Structure 1
Amino acid sequence: MIQWSSKSTDSTEQNISESNRLSAANSISSNNALGWQNLEGYSLGLPKEDFLVEQKHSETSWIKPKINSGYDSLNSRSLQAKGSTVNGSDLELPKVLVVDDHTASRMTAVALLSMEGYEVIEADCGVTAVELVRQKQPDLILLDVMMPGMDGFEVCQLLKQDEHTRLIPVIFITALNDRRSRIRGIEVGADDFLTKPFDRVELAARVKSLVRQKRLNEDLDHTEQVLFSVARAIESRDPNTGDHCERLVQLGQIFGEYLNLSRHQIRDLMWGGYLHDIGKVGIPDDVLLKTGKLTPEDWQIMRRHVVIGEKICQPLRSMRGVVPIIRHHHERWDGSGYPDGLKGEDIPYLAQVFQMIDIYDALTSERPYKRAFTTQEALSVMLEETNLGWRNPQLIQQFLKFIQFYEDKD
């Protein structure tokens, strides 16, 4: 016997039992914000509440070896040529770290860059360079390849793998001009190459271009973080869903890998876990947090959250793959969903995939108005929804195999 009493923002109190599983499927559907026939029950499959995501901030894992005594003797200085501008209207000068164990080569680069108006920092070895990057956060690194101890390839790879330094462009400066060295540099994440001796015009052009690109990337990265913060703020208004979004991120990754999706598609699924209901920021509290039954007018307002979310995220190029998930995660295979009433393959594929993990997690998670369903109970409900015409029959079979695969694996 499956039975619970529910009181949520989009449902009246209702009891569901094993004796009427078809009615249960109707009332706990992920998309029944539209209702099914005359039902206006809550949506168990897709969340109708705000979410609370406690974002876990990764900490930088820096190697902190003993810095050699030469570190204290290195010059960390700001050199600026009069009348030279490299940063447009920015008040803060771009910082460039020059890393080379040969003093003459390093000083040549420092002199050329100082004439272009950059703040220049110096390091004579890889270990010192890593420590200076941590302390100074430069806008660009000119990095010698052949150095004793930690060579340029190792330094670049370490920095590009770290979340806090991955956006800093690295230009390899080297006398090496062979194909193998360049391929190795590309593999570890180098952004460009310069060959000694330097050509001043070429050096200035490449540095200026990469510094500009780095700051544009930082602006984009900051904008994305603002969106995630807004999503967390929305979820904090209703803690009842627990770690729903965090689980969606994890499910999106492993189900995406199971389906052999591309890296970008998997990323979009994971971001969709955080952002799919961000549009609820535009839903009034008297509707979003309503404890009683929503009126037809309330439902019209509630359904707007997908369009609002789309408008919030659409201007960002990096969100192109996430926007279809946000707009269409309430569509149904038979065309009875919203906002566009799309049918079958007209529903974006990633939105269909997202529905699978969203429904499953909501069914198998405990909520104040219900206990957590077992895996078999949840899959049974999802099959019933498919029989009603709400889900992609082929995709639901793939999801069933996916769940079975991971249960057997455990």
Structure 2
Amino acid sequence: MAAQREEDLDDPATVESIVRGILRQVTGRNDDDIDAGRELKDMGVDSLMNIHMMRKAEQAFGVEMSIRALSQTKTAGGPLTIRWFVDQILALRRGVGGDPEATQESADVAVVAERVEHDAASLASHQALLGARIPIETSTITLSSGARIEVLCAGTGAPLVLLCPIMASIPVWVCQIEAFWRDHRVIALNYPGYGRSTDTPAAMSPGALARLLAVVLDALGVHEAVHLVGWSMGGMIAQEFGLSWPQRVRSIALVSTTSHLEEADTIANMEDLFRGLREDLERDTPEPAMVARRKRALDMSRREAGPERSFGYMAEVLRFDVRQRIRGLRPPTLVVQGLEDTLAAPRHGRYMWQEIPGAEHHGFAACGHFAPLHVPSAFNELLRDFVRRCSSSDPPDQ
């Protein structure tokens, strides 16, 4: 990319031209295939590519971006386009970008479920991945706020709730849905803005998502204590749910997560973290038979968990901190981590294990952030044993 005069970097046309060049580098697209008003996700840009684009923009324009500041400017449902990038860069050049230290209110759900409806389109989509032999039901839960939440249920038995990582949707749990539906009522939902769940005016914090989970369980008629499995951001939601509604939780498995991330909110740092996540995704799995299925699940999940909402969720993840409350987590807890995790590093798992009363701990060697997909058989065996032992003990007081 040719060097630009400093004064040219404040010209909208020049900025757009440079951003187009960045997009070409990141995606390999020709300029004829790039439309400044088209959503980036429709041009093949996923959340990880967005971080890469932001880092290149910082270097090209001499600005500093942060996830929290950008999330303040990203309105729910608005398109994430080249024009949006140009507007943010020009604002930062003028010194009027978002304040990363500002407190931003997250969306909440002071609502109830108004109706639960069968969702045929969702069913067809998930059956294409899981196959017709698994008896799944897909529903859309409409809230009194007007928002709609996509939910998948499979099987019958004690409820097992699967909470997705950030930038992921229900298909990321394909190996666990397949493994547990015969013995459990497996429940998974897509967070607002992901899959067929509609967006909210602002991103929801893990605490707000825990309250949403309570609404969803009520709508599904789940009043008994559940087994919670929370992966990454899902583990943060599980901690909040267990702290707020311990009587509704039979057990908690905290997978590749933390009570506080302790990461600097800089794009350079985020790029390093996500580069490590991509390397995790691309590492060889010890279960070769799962390679094709894992790729299909991840491709579907990436399409459903677009970058336009992920900025807000990433900002909430950076804010999350329950270290002062974590000792109050009473349900039986299993902490699971990959010992080569570059995001939720092993020290995070050890901290939770030491702080949560009676917690158990297991680390998978030669494994990163994606144990449920990377070593599904070993992960499922570990989880099955833990859930079985917790099921045989006395349930929490209702």
Same fold at TM > 0.5: no
TM-score with structure 1 length normalisation? Answer: 0.27
Higher percent of residues as strand: 2
**Which of the pair has more CA radius of gyration?**
1
